[in-house]
Amino acid sequence: MEHDGPGVSRETPAVARLEELARAWGLPAGAPAQLGRLLDLVAAEPSSITTVREAGAAAEVHVADSLSGLAVGPLRAATAIADLGSGGGFPGLVLAAALPQAAVALVESVGRKAEFLDRAATVMGLTNVRAVNARAEAWPAGIGRFDAVTARALAPLGVVLEYAAPLLRPGGVAVAWKGFRNPEEEAAGDAAAAELGLVRDRIVVAEGLRHARERHLYVYVKVAPTPSRYPRRPGMARKRPIGRSTRG
């Protein structure tokens, strides 16, 4: 985005969209500026953290999409959130700006992406974020600590749930961003959930998005302890998924 001086952006379509989203979702006063700094960083980042970099497109494809998670009440109310495979910070950094009361852990196994997340949190002025350079399955410090676990464009539904379940507290929610509904993937997700102590609570249809014909958020609640054999060692969730799954 274009700047007249430190922290002051001239009106652009991206700025206007961020301000519109802030009003729609009731975001804190400083959130649009923080999210604008994130889009600046994404546009300037030399490494391949995302294919969508132009600020106007990214405001919609990344920020608006991430904010759609606020339609899930338990996620909006969470005080401890783990975002898995955070990549360029979507939805994790966006949720951190939107929910300053929540401590957000950005779990990212790729070192250069974890470094970007640390730098972005600093530039955005976020104090409720930390990047964790680890795989979800190899992060024992996170087990049982979170009210909500999020994942966007990470893995098939059943795999996401296997990553998320051990990290959730009783009553916590896993929220997975998906596109078109896939009955086979849903069946695999529900089978994995039953094994992991989760149950599907709802499927939220994201509203007001301009970049996607279909966007669904799958919400699962932790209703029973996850068996002690989970998490399995890194790579096993994808190699031998609990239920048959199709990437979505």
Indicate which CATH number applies to the domain containing 228.
3.40.50.150
pLDDT tens-digit readout, 49-100? 888 888 899 999 999 999 999 999 999 999 999 999 999 999 999 999 999 9
Evaluate whether 210 touches 64 at the Cβ level (below 8 Å). Answer: yes
Quote the pTM value.
0.92
Question: Total structural domains in the chain?
Answer: 1
> Tens of pLDDT along 175-224?
999 999 999 999 999 999 999 999 999 999 998 787 767 899 999 999 99
Two tokens, residue 178 = 């998906």
Q: Is residue 113 part of a domain?
A: yes
Query: Which domain range does residue 82 map to?
Result: 64-239
User: Is residue 36, in this structure, part of any structural domain at all?
Assistant: no
User: In this structure, is residue 17 part of a structural domain?
Assistant: no
Buried b / exposed e over 5-17, threshold 16 CB at 10 Å, is: eeeebeeeebbeb
By CB neighbour count within 10 A (0-12 exposed, 13-18 middle, 19+ buried), where does 229 fall? Answer: exposed
Note the pLDDT of residue 213. Answer: 72
Contact 35, 18 (CB under 8 A): yes
Handedness of CA 96, 37, 106, 240 (dihedral sign): positive
Is residue 98 one of the residues assigned to a domain?
A: yes
Cα–Cα dist 199/194, whole Å: 6
Quick one: pLDDT band at residue 47, thresholds 50, 70, 90?
confident
Are 209 and 65 in contact by the 8 Å Cβ rule? The answer is yes
Is 59 a domain residue? no
